[in-house]
């Protein structure tokens, strides 16, 4: 029988971490592994992206009424770069995120995947997070890039 889309919110936290690692492996992070557990300092999945960047993921398996807050993000933000050497820091939360959490994440360059982004990624409707980032999207429409070098006075 064909399994429907995985309901991540139904998984226990460990299975959720495994599922996220599996998505990373599926999309080219061959070495993705779950490192979660006590003393993990906020990292649940560590992986190397196909282009050689270090991906550090924190998984929050929360119910729909429980969004990841800025405290969660700050704890992760305090370790993902300094301790884990992340090139890309990603927090995946089945319950989504509060506004302050999203604000903090944006300032620190942390990617936030709530249930919608997670579903799109897992079902192949969106590129993996490390492809979705890369360079910041240009602020002008495609085909209308400025012709002067950006460093011109």
Give the pLDDT confidence of 129-139 residue by residue, as tens digits: 999 754 444 44
Q: Residue 46: pLDDT above 50?
A: yes
Structure tokens at 101: 């959490």
Residue-level pLDDT at 138 = 40
Taking CA 151 as the corner, what is the angle to CA 149 and CA 153, rounded to the nearest 5 degrees? 105
CATH hierarchy code of domain 8-133: 3.40.1350.10
pLDDT class for 7, splitting at 50, 70, 90? confident
pLDDT class for 55, splitting at 50, 70, 90? very high
Domain boundary assignment for the chain? 8-133
Residue-level pLDDT at 63 = 83
DSSP state of 55: E
Give the pLDDT confidence of 63-114 residue by residue, as tens digits: 878 999 999 999 999 999 999 999 999 999 999 999 999 999 999 999 999 9
Give the gyration radius of the chain's Cα atoms.
17
Answer whether 86's CB lies under 8 Å from 54's CB: yes
């Amino acid at each position: 029988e064909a399994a429907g889309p995985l309901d991540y919110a139904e998984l226990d936290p460990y299975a959720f971490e495994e599922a996220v690692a599996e998505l990373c492996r599926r999309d080219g992070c061959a070495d993705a592994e779950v490192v979660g557990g006590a003393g993990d300092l906020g990292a649940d999945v560590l992986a190397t992206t196909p282009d050689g960047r270090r991906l550090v993921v924190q998984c929050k398996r929360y119910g729909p009424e429980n969004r990841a807050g800025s405290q969660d993000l700050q704890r992760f933000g305090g370790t993902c770069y300094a301790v884990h050497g992340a090139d890309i820091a990603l927090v995946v939360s089945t319950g989504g995120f509060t506004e302050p959490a999203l604000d903090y994440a944006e300032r620190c360059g942390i990617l936030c995947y709530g249930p919608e982004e997670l579903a799109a990624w897992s079902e192949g409707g969106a590129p993996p997070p490390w492809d979705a980032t890369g360079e910041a999207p240009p602020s002008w429409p495609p085909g209308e890039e400025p012709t002067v070098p950006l460093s011109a006075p």
